Amino acid sequence: MEYDSYKDLVASPEAHVEFLRVIDSHLEQGKGDGHLYKRLNAAVKVGGEPFSQARHLTALEGNSDAWELDDTDDAIKVEIATLSQKIKAADPGYDIPHFTVAFEWMIRDMKERGVEVEGGLDFSEEPVLESGTDYDARMSP
């Protein structure tokens, strides 16, 4: 596969989910061998260069803040959430959710509207402090 730029991969939620599907297909090929980056590097070219996870994540962080998530179909958002978390689970260094602006908001918004989606932070209960700790996140300035 060949792309003109990393921005093309993340220009919209729809473009990004298409690329997440490409990553997922390579993920399935290796089944946990820990070499996803090597497979992507060999199979995907961006601007004539071998694919770089770091450049992808940088472009994602820089461009996903302009996505119109309110106008994006829930099915696309569910697939973004599902594939992003699946990829991160297979390769923890490839933290797509962390670099997707408003990722947690997107999941929480869908859950609040009754859309079935996995993942996201659990805000349902007050955090429990463990005995012996002197750190309480609620006390931070």
List the domain boundaries for the chain: 2-119
Residues 6 or more apart in contact with residue 36 via CB below 8 angstroms: 23, 26, 27, 30, 87, 90, 91, 94
Residue bearing the bigger pLDDT, 140 or 97: 97
Q: DSSP label at 127? A: P
Check pLDDT > 90 for residue 138. no
Question: What is the pTM assigned to this prediction?
Answer: 0.81
Q: What is the pLDDT of residue 134?
A: 58
- Rounded Cα distance between 82 and 107, Å, is 10
Extended beta strands in 1-83, E state: 2-3, 45-46, 49-50
CB of 98 within 8 A of CB of 84? no
**DSSP reduced 3-state for 8:** helix
Q: Which of 1, 20, 7 is nearest to 103 (CA)?
A: 20
Check pLDDT > 80 for residue 28. no
Residue bearing the bigger pLDDT, 66 or 27: 66
- Rounded Cα distance between 115 and 109, Å, is 9
Question: What are the beta bridge partners of residue 45?
Answer: 2, 50
pLDDT (tens digit per residue) in 59-99: 999 999 999 999 999 999 999 999 999 999 888 889 999 99
CB of 132 within 8 A of CB of 99? no
**DSSP reduced 3-state for 20:** helix
Place of tokens 């820089």: 62
Categorize the per-residue pLDDT at 36 as very low, low, confident or very high, splitting at 50, 70 and 90: confident
**Mean of per-residue pLDDT scores for the chain:** 87
